[in-house]
Amino acid sequence: MQRWIWLLALLLGVNWAFAQQKIEDDTPAAPAQKTEIQVPKIAVYPWCFAENERGTNEQAVRSVQELLRKSFENRAGMEIIPEARCRAAWIQLGNEDVPLTVEDPGQLPRLPSGKKLLEFGEALGADYVCAGTVAWRVRSVWVGLGPKTKAEATVNVIIIDVKRKEIVLDVRDFSSGSNKAEKWYETAGALLVSWGITLFSGGPKTPHMQRTGVIAVGAAIEPFFSAAGRKIE
C-alpha cells in the first residue's frame, strides 16, 4: 500500500513539474528594446536678406531658403527646426528680433557671435546652428541694342556645432561672381535639378537674383561637409 502511495506521489510531482515547465515555455519573451534613431537637428536661423532696389524679391529669398533646406536635409540627413520655434527661443534669450528682409544691404545686421549662437543652440536643443545674410546688387547695363540685367549676391554665413562647441564654417563677403562659386555650380547643377531647383540666366531681375543667390549660398556652405571646427572660447 505504501508503495502505491509513493508511486502516485511521484507521478503527481512529475506532472506538476511538466506543467510548470510548459507554462514557462509558453510565456512570451520580452520584446527586444528598439534602438532610437538619432537625427541631428539644425536651426537655420537667423537669416536676413536685402537688395539695393528697395523691396527684396520674395522669390529669390524663397529659392535660397529652399536650397538651405534641401542641403541640410538631403545631404546631411538633418532635421530643420521650425522657424517659429527658433524665433521664439532667440527672443526669449534677450536678442533683438531679426527681420527676414531689410530695404537696403547697408541695413543688414552683422552675424551674431559664436558665443551668442552657441547659447541659442543650447537653449533650443539643436545640434547645429546656421546663420547668415545675403545682399543682392542688381543693375542694368547696356549690351548691344538694349539693356541687360546683372545681379550679384554676397553671402556671410556661420555654422556652429553646438555639442562640440565649435565653429565649423565661417565665410564672409563671398560673391556669386567668384570663380569658386561658378565652379561649384558647374558640379552641382544636376543635383539642384533633382531637388527641383532650376536656375535661369536671362529675363528680368528675378531669375538673375534666384540664380546668384543659390550659387553664392550653395558654394559658401559646401565646405561644411568636411569642415574642421575651431573651439569657441
pTM: 0.79
| Lateral strand order in the sheet of 128-143 | 79-80, 41-51, 128-143, 146-161, 166-175, 230-231
Q: Where are the domains of the chain?
A: 41-231
Q: CB-side exposure of 55: number of CA atoms within 13 Å?
A: 2
Confidence class of residue 56 from pLDDT cuts 50, 70 and 90? confident
pLDDT tens-place string over residues 201-229: 656 788 889 999 999 999 999 999 765 55
**pLDDT (tens digit per residue) in 1-41:** 555 444 444 444 544 444 444 444 455 555 666 667 889 99
Question: Angle, to 10 degrees, between the axis of helix 83-92 and the axis of helix 114-124?
Answer: 120
> 148-169: per-residue pLDDT in tens?
778 999 999 999 999 999 999 9
